[in-house]
Structure 1
Amino acid sequence: MDILKPLTTRLTAHPKLLISALSIAAPIAYLSYLHHTLSKTTTHVRSSGPLTREAVADISSVPASVLGGGYKMVRDKAWKRVPKEEMPEKGGEEMVKLYLRETMGLFARRFPQAYLLRVVAPGGARTFEKEYIGGCVFGVGEVVAGVYRVARREGSEKSGVVEFEMVMGKEKREGAPEGRLVVGGREVEGEWEWWSETVMWVEEGGAMPLEKRGVE
């Protein structure tokens, strides 16, 4: 497992890059738990507005049924770059898989909302276990940490991306936000750029949890 050391050392030194997005993308009770805790070494942007195809053109798993102008959205993205020579000699798709195994594992083992999700998540407690996450390939349909189901996966030698949908189960209340969690990496100018992004949407007239808290 020594091959993972450069990757996990650099990327999990600031695991909140992904974990903050995981918290925002979790069911409504956990949406903003870590919103203000992104590492200072990452770049972070947030935007909002009508949910249209143009606004989410780079996230192909967003359902066409919500793109007609009747929904509003919030996008929250963080990213950082790591020197290429500090990354293992793996293709983009493989490195994204290793990154997700490590950071999803940290989320499932260390953070309070993960323990709560074990109880209510339709995906089952097994999907939080170290052995389960360590064996995930993040193929379409695979569920991780109870509520994150892979909706899209793409990869090449120089890039990789996974889009997760939230599996809320029958208990999802009317008017609650829906969304996508997107995690990816790509080679850029001799470095590897890693990003995580949350896109949430709700029908016009509904309220986003982050809006209620006055988050900028």
Structure 2
Amino acid sequence: MTDLAAVVADRYRDASRTARGFIRGKLRGDPVVPALLALGGAHSLGHVLDLGCGRGQLALALLLSGRADRVTGLDLDTGKIAAAQAAAGDLPARFDVADVAAAPIAPCDTLMLIDVLLQLAPPSQDALLARIAAAAPARILIRAFDPERGWRSSLGFAMERARRVLGGDLGLRGAVAPRPLREIAAPLEAAGYAVAVTPCWTGTPLPNVLLVAQR
């Protein structure tokens, strides 16, 4: 994992030292990274569409580890998308500026929605989940904030509110609005997906879980 984090971070040579340090730290310390790498196993996740990709480090890590054949990332932040595309170089990766709350869902094998739903108002969450289900990728991977995890949820709410006060991130919109997991899973199950939920918070105090929906 450490080597992969360094390899990915080194591709961001045009980014600031702070950004490179953030990328390296996220790939080394975020529990979603080993969780997603383990999902691929000996098989590729195919074409991965990463909605709300930020600087694209997670998508590139999947690509460089052989877990993805091709990646596409969408994010509202033009600076982060520029950094992602520059880091991608000649890899089979494309990053575009788009509002994931309204952008069309392109065909893909695996769709990732990591730490995004929490940032949207409930009606936008419902609309996005409906569009994802209608697009019918083979696999949907969602890391969500579980509002029903006791002290973890209380601390998570406090941290998210603090992030909004501090500002500086285009992904932060309005109030903190996590949905109960059953409300996230329901439209996917109605579309024929089997949904499994596992904790995805190792080493952190957060209430993050990973939903894996497969046909």
TM-score range, shorter chain: under 0.3
* The structure with more strand, counted as a fraction of residues: 1
TM-score norm. by structure 2 comes to 0.25
* The structure with more helix, counted as a fraction of residues: 2
Q: Which has the higher contact order (CA 8 A, sep 6+)?
A: 1
